Structure 1
């Protein structure tokens, strides 16, 4: 019976130490995630345009794909990217577009959906190039260089996405800038931002630890204007 208080003391000490270790690990984990988020922002802000009027001319604009509709509602992440691409072309800022996105199945084809909308806006088919294997941002950025031989291009997406895309591009020695287009003006902004913080940590892990490569590479399909310029 006399050992029971001693046992309880030992258990309490063990629990206290365990909780302390868990708390320290949590603080380190949270601090690391926040630090990665801030590093990616700090290192890419100077390469982001927020006004089409300030964008110089580019041979290639890389439009990062997303779904056109969420349920039966138009996805404004999509519409802002496409509208910006159309305006860039109309103003003579971007001549050719590389549309990169997921092609999961016949009824879900991000590159083709974007192409259809650009064609409706009067952009010629010869100025539109499709990357059906842009399953994620890393795939889209690396494939733009390795498959389509684009080493200097303008990325078109939302501000938070610009930073992660540019960070990946810099790591792979790709000369890219980004036009940040608006996102939806609703309550989803906070949840998207939180998800982006973890996406940046995953990108950091992909680049420096896992050395991840695109799911598919395949044959080279150069955009002819780039070859001509070289």
Structure 2
């Protein structure tokens, strides 16, 4: 039995991240969690000048590389953020503010499956920040993780789901390039939030 929803998320318990600055949310606003060195984030911002992306990375060394490269590109539709994503999202994003979310090759948390994104109560809060018809893209090279994710969505979150294999010439992240180059399969789950979808946090805001 999946107890994800029973372990209720409590956003009011989370403090603002250190040096927190609330961003200006744009009309076509996207979010990437776990941006690494920013390869996908910078590609996305360059290819979609009318869309805005906030890209969060927790690891200092990776974020410093990302931040420096993004400054060189001077992309005014990309905001790199160094923070833990969960408290940052709670304090920064109002309900129904995102057009899309990217979770590209997240840590599979082999020692603690409850920390996988769709297994966390926080995932309901993240859905509440998405607009109707907004999409969430999760990609992994671990087939068991992919299968678990699709099952949890089917049983718990019930977002519209499209499953696919990543094309062999795709190059969104350094991980993706490495996995595909050595012949591994990578798997993508595209989740879409239906109209009239309800969460416990639809009216919750700082």
What TM-score, normalized by structure 1, do the two folds share? 0.36
Please state which structure has a larger fraction of its residues in helix: 1
Over alpha carbons, which structure has the higher Rg?
Answer: 1
TM-score, L = length of structure 2: 0.39
Q: Would you tell me which structure has more strand in proportion to its own residues?
A: 2
